[in-house]
Chain A
Amino acid sequence: MYRYIVNRLLLVIPTLVGAAILVFTLMRLIPGDICVVRLGSGGGTFDERAVTACHAELGMDRSVLLQFVDFLWGFLNFDLGKSMWSGKPVAYEIVTRLPISIEIALMATIVAVAIAIPLGTISALKQNSWVDLFVRVFAIAGIATPSFWLGIMLILGILSVSQAFAGAPWMPPIDYVPLWQDPIRNLSMAIWPAITVGYRSSAITMRMTRSAMLEVLREDYIRTARAKGLLEKIVINRHALKNALLPVVTLIGLEFAFLIGGLVVTEQVFNLNGIGRLFVLAIANQDYTLTQALVMLVVAVSIFANLVVDLAYAWLDPRIRFA
């Protein structure tokens, strides 16, 4: 096991270098110039000499090759550089936004698992019943409904309901306070995006749980377990569900990795200052250094989540051994 983990961690290095080369190249292919966006996006006039000075300040007057060597060297030295937009260290920009993204991702995953696994299991056990039909409709609706739309509807619903019943419209806080500073305020802000995103995530996981369970329930060993006279509860929980969870865990891991940097619109809808919103801004502002670092972060999170998922396999299925 230890050897397997070390090998997997060593493989991270070429993957990250490959991603670095790819993102560096792709960013330079996007038309635009951060200095012009910065000086001109307000629609006003600006001095062309300021653009030249800005290029020099950001090192954009150097050759692309030199910029790439600089980036790679910084990356290998764990120096992500400074945001070309704000001038602040990239690490600071990311670390400032990471807590809210991790919190939402964790809460959304909890919401998703809490909904998906019981409902998916029940749906499989009651296949083709009205319960199954309801769960499937619920799941398909979750996949079909865009999270940002659901988020907007949720806020409008809260506003309207609070106005109707309390006399004054209420909406969740729009400025983030860390959980340890003010838990109530923090949770009253974070719970809504967690539900919004968690619902979508639960819908996908629910369908996977259902289909995996249906497959497992038809296996010989389940029939054998029942023939032995085991209680149905034990058959389902110990023999069926545990095996059916293998693909579900993979899915949850990938979803979690996506939630860290992928809540682009949901973060905007709830005014969350997270990684997804930062990602959009970095690309819109053509902030090369920040975008590169964010892509690397998402790649690293995905690799780590996959590793955790693979390790979880061993726990769920004793037949799997890592050489």
Chain B
Amino acid sequence: MALLEVRDLAVEYGTERGPLRAVDGVSFDVEAGEALGIIGESGSGKTSTATALMRLLPRNGSVVGGTMRLGGTNIGDLSDEDFRAQVRWTGMAMVFQGAMHSLNPVMRVGDQVGERLLSDGVPKAQVQARVAELLGQVGLPATTARRYPHELSGGMKQRVMIASALTNDPPLLILDEPTSALDVSIQAQIMNLLKQLKAQRRIAMLFITHDLALASDLCDHIAVVYAGQVRELGSAEDVLGSPADPYTRRLLASIPSLRDPAPPAFLPGAPPDLREDIAGCRFTTRCPVVYEPCAEAPPLYDLSSGHHARCWRVGPGGPGVPDDAPPETAS
């Protein structure tokens, strides 16, 4: 049994122009001590998946289908009170996008990291010791506890947010674009820290990003999501080494390579509006290899053990995705 099992998750938002199904039947597992990357563009449903797991969806959003099991417990069935006591921050903790801007500017860092422990009734001396320990785990000196957020750099603030998420020793960390506001060299430092936490403390991670290259720096498994659905799911080797879905292939080809002089290809167009009924495959509007069957929605095929893709071409009897699908280069 996996640490986290998500099955057919569906999340809807009420909007002025009708319901928007941001997550539409997403399933994945996160094994203990492993990292799963959820890769997608803005609006693909990756952040909605995470906030649904943490029960932090905005007011107009709700889970309308599917199950979420953490360590065997169906966390969707818990009362809000039980969810707070057993799951949020304890069973899994989340580091938010741009989280370093969410530190309270007039509170010392140590007070913020220890706030949750104090409110749980832990004695002050113990809280201080724990805060020092947590700061140490993320590579910050214990004296950081006495400093104010404005005295810290962006990278240090993000370390503080990670320390804060580790407070209750959760077996699972959800990381939503944890490095997107940081410089490359600081990003590499934070990614190394996450690697250490994963390797040394066997913390499982759900890593949410739009950047496949960055995901490859941490993730054992990768789920590529598009328009609320999983397009491709498999080991990092499968998805990055032999991508099956045309969307994954295009996404990979669109990354400018540092070493390879071949220019990046690009993915024209934009994802579909999820408020409208979409017949057929959701990628057809941008796909370079559309053919007749695409008028109907393809299932998520199991290609080989654990490698899945949602494309008629790679299913049984399908013609395959031609390698020479012409990448769009400079016109």
Q: Do A and B bind each other?
A: no
Interface residues of chain A, those whose CB is within 8 Å of chain B, are none
Point out residues on B near A: beta carbons under 8 Å.
none
